[in-house]
């Protein structure tokens, strides 16, 4: 056991999907995985392990923001030996051309408070990134490949304007966790990728209705799972 996880050694697969929302973790496990069993429930951050097309895979909720996410990533990696992590979360569009429900595959990410530091831009595992991009094209997913900006602040008096510096550097979407998952994965020496679903637009003010959750996230989850499955099969 770890401080925030009651799972036993061997309860997690080598690859893990990391949604923020526990309900989304449960929905994915129940809908898309075979033989899923619950392995963690501490603090309501549910974790499950099952299989997808014969590939062992886990799903672990991480909560909101980088402090919570980094705790769960650290414990999954150091306590349970997880070697590949993939964020499947929500994001906001910073470009009018990016529509609601489309997917963002994050080419790179930085915290909004660190944009002036060239070393603040972190990247995903190149193999996972390339595989996801190819799978998205082959599968006909509505997607965009671009840099993202992450922030610890959700509510702000100038939602779009505060990201002007990031958009000038090419960021087309924002969230709270992608920069953190890329940074901590690099530190811990594991493979990471972030794929997000656009749930609102900071440009147009549009947002999906809460009634759409959790099914609106199925394309994102399937892209993540198909990427992992295909990429795992192609590795020597």
7 found inside a domain: no
Helix (H) and strand (E) counts for the chain?
6, 9
What confidence tens digit (pLDDT) does each residue in 17-30 have?
Answer: 999 999 999 999 99
Catalytic residue among 14, 95, 114, 200: 200
**In whole angstroms, what is the distance from residue 38 CA to residue 46 CA?**
7
Percentage of the chain with pLDDT > 90?
A: 90
132 found inside a domain: yes
User: What is the model's pLDDT at position 62?
Assistant: 97
3 found inside a domain: no
What confidence tens digit (pLDDT) does each residue in 144-189 have?
Answer: 999 999 999 999 999 999 999 999 999 999 999 999 999 999 999 9
4 found inside a domain: no
User: What's the CATH number where 106 sits?
Assistant: 3.40.50.1580
60 found inside a domain: yes
Q: Which pair of tokens denotes residue 114?
A: 């660190």
CB 193 within 8 Å of CB 225: no
**In whole angstroms, what is the distance from residue 74 CA to residue 16 CA?**
13
| Domain hosting residue 81, numbered range | 15-234
Is residue 150 within a helix (H) or strand (E), and if so which, with residue range?
strand 143-150
Going by pLDDT thresholds of 50, 70 and 90, the confidence category of residue 235 is low
Number of domains in the chain: 1
94 found inside a domain: yes
52 found inside a domain: yes
Nearest Cα to Cα of residue 150 among 166, 128, 161: 166
CA quadruple 159, 143, 178, 176: dihedral sign? positive
6 found inside a domain: no
Provide the 3-class DSSP secondary structure of residue 84. strand
Q: Is 200 a catalytic residue?
A: yes
Question: What angle separates helix 178-188 from helix 66-80, to the nearest 10 degrees?
Answer: 30
Cα angle: 57, vertex 61, 67; to 5 degrees? 125
**In whole angstroms, what is the distance from residue 131 CA to residue 60 CA?**
22
**In whole angstroms, what is the distance from residue 215 CA to residue 143 CA?**
17
Average pLDDT in the chain: 95
User: What is the model's pLDDT at position 232?
Assistant: 76
Going by pLDDT thresholds of 50, 70 and 90, the confidence category of residue 140 is very high
């Amino acid at each position: 056991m770890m401080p925030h996880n009651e799972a036993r050694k061997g309860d997690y697969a080598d690859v893990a999907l990391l949604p923020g929302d526990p309900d989304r973790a449960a929905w994915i496990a129940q809908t898309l995985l075979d033989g899923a069993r619950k392995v963690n429930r501490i603090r309501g951050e549910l974790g499950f392990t099952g299989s997808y097309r014969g590939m062992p895979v886990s799903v672990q909720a991480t909560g909101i923001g980088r402090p919570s996410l980094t705790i769960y990533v650290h414990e999954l990696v150091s306590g349970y030996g997880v070697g590949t992590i993939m964020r499947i979360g929500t994001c906001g569009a910073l470009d009018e051309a990016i529509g609601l429900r489309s997917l963002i595959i994050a080419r790179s990410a930085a915290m909004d408070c660190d944009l002036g530091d060239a070393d603040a831009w972190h990247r995903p595992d190149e193999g996972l990134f390339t595989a996801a991009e190819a799978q998205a094209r082959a599968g006909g997913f509505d997607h965009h490949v671009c840099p993202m900006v992450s922030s610890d602040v959700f509510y702000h008096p100038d939602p779009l304007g505060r990201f002007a510096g990031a958009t000038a550097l090419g960021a087309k979407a924002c969230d709270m966790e992608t920069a953190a998952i890329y940074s901590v994965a690099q530190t811990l020496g594991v493979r990471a990728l972030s794929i997000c679903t656009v749930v609102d637009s900071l440009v147009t003010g549009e947002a999906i209705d809460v009634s759409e959750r959790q099914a609106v996230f199925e394309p994102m989850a399937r892209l993540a799972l198909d990427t992992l499955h295909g990429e795992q099969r192609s590795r020597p």
